[in-house]
Amino acid sequence: MTIPAAAAPGLRERKKERTRQTIQDQAVRLFLNQGYEQTTVEQIAAAADVSERTFFRYFPAKADILALDVIEPVVMEAFVGQDRGLAATAALRSAIREVYAALPPDRLERERERQRLVAQVAGLHAITPGKLESVLDLLAGALAARMGRPSSDPAVATWAGAVAGVVGACYRDWAREGAGRDFIDMADGRLSVLEGGLP
């Protein structure tokens, strides 16, 4: 996964991002091996070779580990940079293809595993009520930047809500159906329905 050069962070931010990713990767591994409820913060911190204090600087609660999506911001960066002649949903389809096609297979599988855990862990959404709001803000902000309109514009907010629903359903079904399904094809097909309008 490559962040466009113009948006590339400095050394300190890259180190922080590596630490955050290491914590998440180790946590997902432990959750899959021994269960979400059975895995403690102490175990995650030890596996990631950080202190519990450092853990909580990155993740206020255990559930926040699964809520973190490091691919979403990269997709939004690619979305904003798509050809201005493309309509919003077509630009998003192109951005998803671009970013997910560039992911190494192991990174793609880790993301599928994270989504599977999100779908399986009871009560997770209640623990992280701000996740949907953050996704809506991310989508609306990216579209506003692309179109030069405020993120509070009703059309922008409506598009963000619709896309969040479609992509959320794609993640759920991709995680359930296993690695045999291609996320790019699934997302592209469903977003094309949104783009064309329901019959």
Contact between 1 and 71 under an 8 Å Cβ cutoff? The reply is yes
Query: Which pLDDT belongs to residue 123?
Result: 57
Query: Which pLDDT belongs to residue 2?
Result: 43
Asked whether the CA dihedral 168, 186, 73, 95 is positive or negative, the reply is negative
CA angle 120, 158, 79 (to 5 degrees): 75
CATH homologous superfamily for the domain 69-199? Tetracycline Repressor, domain 2 (1.10.357.10)
Query: Which pLDDT belongs to residue 122?
Result: 56
Instruction: Indicate the length of the chain as a whole number.
Output: 199
Query: Which pLDDT belongs to residue 196?
Result: 87
Query: Which pLDDT belongs to residue 154?
Result: 94
Whether domain 1-64 has CATH 1.10.1660.10: no
The span from the CA of 132 to the CA of 23, in Å, is 22
Encoded tokens for 117: 């855990």
Closest CA to 93 of 175, 169, 149, 163: 163
Classify residue 119 as exposed, middle or buried by CB count within 10 Å of its CB (0-12, 13-18, 19+): middle
Spans of all domains in the chain: 1-64, 69-199
What stretches in the chain show pLDDT beneath 50? 1-7, 126
Query: Which pLDDT belongs to residue 131?
Result: 74
* pTM of the complete model: 0.81
Query: Which pLDDT belongs to residue 34?
Result: 93
